[in-house]
């Protein structure tokens, strides 16, 4: 099966005043339909940069080489217009801060409609119906009212859910979520993760899920890569990462998780007093 998304030896460097800094140093991975790749790594390790480079979201100062393919087609070298059409169409992107993805000056409903209008041939009435269906799928209540609201009148979690809903409604072949749960509380985080898992299962969507959180990644990802200073330092399924990860950053993440699990078990077993 042809992978949906594939990076091969992807490199990104930044050229400033005749100095070249290498930010991504030969990253390779691939994702198949219905599969989720989790990308872990500490802040600044090159997680977002790798995705942005592949999807044409870096400005001119960056030099990108290697290969990034979507459904077998090379992305590097495609025109800005081609890549823009791909994003929001066959490739859905969910970004860290939902507020930055909505224009504060326009009602949420208008912004949802605009996306549907740009990427489908539906008429106004059909778009309205699709918008309502999308909100329902994303378990949003008071849907008529929500469409009339401005972004600042809705919570971060709700905007995030709408953003995922829009991305999923386009039935993308690939859905990229870059730290989609960082800006929201733990309960909403779990719900967002549930939605993504449902989308993956029901639509056979290939996914890339970027996070600092090993717990979140372990719930959704079939395969995990860990980045450190622009390189893949560990790779494998959750079990492999848990038991055989070699990189110190990965070990730290695993130990943090183990500590949480130990505490959880001791609470369950009624040993809470021992730890008080
Ligand atoms: N616009 C930019 N100009 C110069 N350097 C940048 C720029 N954006 C990112 N970098 C650098 O590139 C490297 C990789 O950054 P990247 O944004 O990919 O990190 P990340 O792994 O996504 O981190 P985080 O978890 O904080 O989102 C970092 O060293 C960062 O400082
Ligand atoms: Mg990032």
For 181-239, the pLDDT digits (tens) are 666 667 677 888 888 898 899 889 999 999 988 888 999 999 999 999 999 999 999 99
Give percent above pLDDT 70 in the chain.
95
Q: For ligand 1, pick from 15, 42, 49, 53 the residue to mutate: most ligand atoms within 8 Å of CB.
A: 49
Instruction: Say what the pLDDT of residue 271 is.
Output: 65
Strands in 5-16's sheet, in edge-to-edge order, are: 19-31, 5-16, 62-70, 73-74
Asked which of 114-123, 158-167, 210-219, 260-269 is least confident by mean pLDDT, the reply is 260-269
Instruction: Say what the pLDDT of residue 175 is.
Output: 95
User: Do 38 and 236 meet the contact criterion of CB atoms below 8 Å apart?
Assistant: no
For 153-169, the pLDDT digits (tens) are 998 888 888 988 888 88
- Closest CA to ligand 1's atom 7: 49
Query: Which of 147 and 85 is assigned the larger pLDDT?
Result: 147
Burial tier of 77 (Cβ tally within 10 Å: 0-12, 13-18, 19+):
exposed
Q: For ligand 1, pick from 47, 53, 95, 227 the residue to mutate: most ligand atoms within 8 Å of CB.
A: 47
Residue identified by tokens 């870096």 is: 58
As a whole number, the mean pLDDT across the chain is 89
The reply to whether ligand 1 has any atom less than 6 angstroms from the CB of 52 is: no
Is the pLDDT reported for residue 11 higher than 70?
Answer: yes
User: Do 178 and 210 meet the contact criterion of CB atoms below 8 Å apart?
Assistant: yes
Is the pLDDT reported for residue 274 higher than 70?
Answer: no
Residue whose C-alpha is closest to residue 163's, from 221, 115, 219: 115
Q: Give the model's confidence band at 14: pLDDT under 50 very low, under 70 low, under 90 confident, else very high.
A: very high
Most confident of 4-13, 88-97, 129-138: 4-13
Q: Domains of the chain: which residue ranges?
A: 1-90+173-238, 102-169
Q: Give the model's confidence band at 276: pLDDT under 50 very low, under 70 low, under 90 confident, else very high.
A: very low
Residues with CB under 5 A from ligand 2 (ion): 48
**CATH number among 3.40.50.300, 3.90.550.10, 1.20.272.10, 3.30.70.20, domain 1-90+173-238:** 3.40.50.300
Is the pLDDT reported for residue 119 higher than 90?
Answer: no
- Closest CA to ligand 1's atom 18: 46
Instruction: Say what the pLDDT of residue 73 is.
Output: 96
Q: Give the model's confidence band at 262: pLDDT under 50 very low, under 70 low, under 90 confident, else very high.
A: confident
User: Do 62 and 238 meet the contact criterion of CB atoms below 8 Å apart?
Assistant: no
Contacts of 149 (CB under 8 A, 6+ apart): 107, 108
């Amino acid at each position: 099966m042809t992978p949906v998304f594939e990076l091969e030896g992807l490199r990104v460097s930044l050229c400033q005043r005749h100095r070249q800094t290498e930010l991504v140093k030969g990253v390779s991975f691939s994702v198949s339909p219905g599969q989720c790749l989790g990308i872990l790594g500490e802040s600044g390790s090159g997680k977002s940069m790798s995705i942005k480079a592949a999807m044409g979201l870096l400005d001119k100062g960056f030099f990108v080489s290697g290969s990034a393919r979507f459904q077998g087609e090379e992305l590097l070298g495609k025109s800005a217009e081609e890549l823009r059409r791909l994003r929001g169409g066959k490739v859905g992107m969910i970004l860290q801060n939902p507020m930055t993805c909505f224009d504060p000056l326009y009602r949420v409903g208008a912004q949802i409609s605009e996306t549907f209008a740009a990427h489908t041939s539906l008429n106004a009435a059909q778009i309205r119906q699709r918008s309502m269906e999308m909100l329902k799928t994303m378990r949003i209540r008071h849907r008529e009212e929500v469409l009339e609201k401005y972004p600042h009148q809705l919570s971060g979690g709700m905007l995030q859910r709408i953003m995922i809903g829009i991305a999923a409604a386009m039935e993308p072949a690939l859905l990229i979520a870059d730290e989609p749960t960082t800006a929201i509380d733990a309960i909403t985080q779990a719900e967002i993760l549930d939605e993504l898992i449902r989308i993956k299962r029901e639509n056979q969507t290939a996914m890339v899920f970027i996070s600092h959180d090993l717990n979140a990644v372990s719930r959704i990802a079939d395969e995990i890569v860990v980045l450190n200073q622009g390189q893949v330092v560990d790779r494998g399924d959750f079990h492999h990462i848990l038991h055989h990860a070699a990189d110190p950053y990965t070990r730290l993440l695993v130990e943090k998780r183990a500590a949480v699990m130990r505490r959880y078990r001791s609470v369950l077993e009624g040993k809470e007093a021992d730890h008080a």
